Structure 1
């Protein structure tokens, strides 16, 4: 799946920024860590020093709903490049600086997270 397909998948699953809380972002960060570590171990990223940054820049509405969020990735030769961004205009970006080899683990984590979010919303609506 590529970036555009991942954005479409988010919409197809019926998700929007209104569904995302700070806790949900934490789940995404955990999944990003997992997928980046797997890709580094498998040598599928351009360098084997990629890791998620601890820095998260996010803004929430007073009710806790996401307005914008920027997650970053580091390596031995750069710090805090965009990994995934939830922009204020509802555009979701995936490492615009990177080639497909470096982007794929991020997209894979995002897709796993979208599935998680969709399941959570389904469970909430059943209650």
Structure 2
């Protein structure tokens, strides 16, 4: 759970709850559909595209318009490639959504296969 800094005083902890306070880090983690997912040292003024380029750029399966930045407090948001990154952020590049064409082709080939099997059975009788 990510707490809102303006109202976290109102949260009631129960027995067994674990409170995790992340430590500051100077590493930017880049995950998802990128060439070589890795951690990179933070440099002031770089944007998401700069960090992605440092690890080999986007993969062929990446959706370049779907980049998520996860802040150290757990807040995640969809951002542009030119968004500025803060120390300790993580960058996640999402994959392209598969098209319906692949599913349609699979369905059609399955029907054709079943018809071919039925014809073969009928001719062998």
* Range into which the TM-score falls when normalised by the shorter chain: under 0.3
If asked which structure has higher relative contact order (CA below 8 Å, sep 6+), I would say 1
Greater percentage in helix: 1
Tell me the TM-score normalised to structure 1 length: 0.25
Tell me the TM-score normalised to structure 2 length: 0.26
